[in-house]
Amino acid sequence: MTLQVDLFTEEHDLFRAQCRRFIEKELAPFADQWEDAKDFPSEVFRKVGEAGFFGIRVPEAYGGAGGDHLMAAVWIEECAGTGSAGVVAGLNMHGLIILPALVQFGNEDQKQRFLVPGVRGEKIGALGLTEPSVGSDLANCRTTAKRDGDDWILNGSKMFITNGCRADFVLVLCKTDPAASYGGFSMLIVEKGLLGFDQGKRLEKLGWHASDTAELVFDNVRVPGRNLLGQEGQGFYNAMANLEWERLMMALGAVAGAQLAWDRTFAYVRTREAFGRPIGYFQVNRHKMVDMATDIEAARQLNYHCLRMVLAKRPCLKEVSMAKIFACEMADRVATTCLQLHGGYGYMKEYKIERFFRDVRLNTIGGGTTEIMKEIIGKLIGL
C-alpha cells in the first residue's frame, strides 16, 4: 500500500471501507449483467443516494455529508471495484459533477428542486457541453438561447452526453450573447419533458457499455427564466471550473483501474505456467510488471499532488492537465500490457481484462483529449 499518512486520515480509511462494502454488495455482483444489458436500472441511483454517496460534497443542509475532495477521491478510487466503467461514469457524473455544480452556482430555489432530490437519487442530472461539430472546442459552442419575456428559447444540440437518455435535468452550456466572447455564455437547467427537448436514443460505443450516452436536441425549447444556473454570461467560466475537477476525477479513476488490472494480472502470471514454470518468473514478464507498477505509482502521486493543491485552494490547471495526460495514457498502456500477458485468455470476457481494455480507452478522449491538455499546458508554460 502507498504511504498516505500526510494526505488521508483514519476517517478517510473508515470511509474507504464503507465504500468498498457497498460496492461489493450492491454494484460489483451485477456488473456483468448490466454490461450485457447495456444498461443499469435507475434504482441504482436511489440505492447510492440512500447510502449517502451522492452527498459527499453536498452540505448537510441539503442532505449531504459536507465532505471534501479527499472523501470524493476515496469514493472514486473504490469505484474501480465496481467492474463497469459505464456504471461508474453515470453515477459519478451525477454525484460528483452535477450536484457540486448546483451547490456552487445554484440559488435556493434550484437547490430545493434539483439538489435535494438529486442527493437522494430521485432526480438524475447530466451535463451538456460537447456538441456534434465542436468537440473539445467549447468556445465555439453553437447552442443558443434567446430571451423571450422571462423565459429562454433554446436551440442546438449536444453529443456524447452521459446519463443523456435517463436524465431528469441537464445543465446546458449555451451562447446567450454572441457578441460578448467568453462572457457571452450561460448555463441553463433543462428539464425532461419540455416541449422540443429530444433526449435521443442510446449511442452504441466501444466501451462503457452500461453507460447511458445520448445526443440531445433542443428545438425552440422554452426554458423558464428561473432555470438560469448562476449569473448570465458566466457559463463558460463555470463550466471550465467544473472541467478541472472532472479531469482529476478521470485521472484518479484511471489509476485505480490500472491498479486493479495490475493486481489481477499479477495473480495470473504467478499461476499460469509455460515451459515448466509460472510466466511471471520469466525476466521479460517480470520487468513488464515492474514497469507497470512504477508507472501506476508515479501517476498516483501526481494525482495526490493535485489533490493537495485543490485542498490548499491553489491554482492547479496545469498540474491537473498533466495528471490527466499521464494517468490516462499510462492506464491505456497498462491495459494493453495486461491483456498481452493474459494471452488468449485476455481476449475472453471471463477474465475482465478485455473490458478494462475497452473501457479505459475513453479516458484519453473524454473531459478533454490528451492533445487539448497539451495545448492548455503549453499556453500555461508560455509557449
The CA–CA distances, whole Å, from 98 to 190, 301, 308 equal: 13, 27, 23
- Short-list 95, 89, 93, 41, CA closest to 63: 95
For the purposes of burial, counting CB atoms within 10 Å of the CB of 275, is it exposed (0-12), middle (13-18) or buried (19 or more)? exposed
Contact 42, 166 (CB under 8 A): yes
> Using alpha carbons only, what angle is made at residue 70 by residues 42 and 14, rounded to the nearest 5 degrees?
80
The set of cell numbers assigned to 265 is 494480472
Distance CA 210, CA 162 (A): 11
d(CA 247, CA 374) in angstroms, rounded, equals: 13
Instruction: Tell which residue, 76, 80, 105, 378, has the closest CA to residue 246.
Output: 76
Helix axes 85-92, 43-50, angle to 10 degrees: 60
Please calculate the CA angle 79-81-83 and round it to the nearest 5 degrees: 100
Say which DSSP state 204 is in.
Answer: P
Alpha carbons 269 and 289: distance in angstroms, whole number: 9
| 246 in active site | yes
Whether 240 and 174 have beta carbons less than 8 Å apart is answered as no
Catalytic residue among 246, 273, 329, 371: 246
R_g over Cα of the chain: 21
Is there a contact between 221 and 214 (Cβ–Cβ < 8 Å)? no
What are 182's three cell numbers?
467568453
Question: How far apart are alpha carbons 125 and 162 in whole angstroms?
Answer: 9
Residues with a catalytic annotation lie at 246
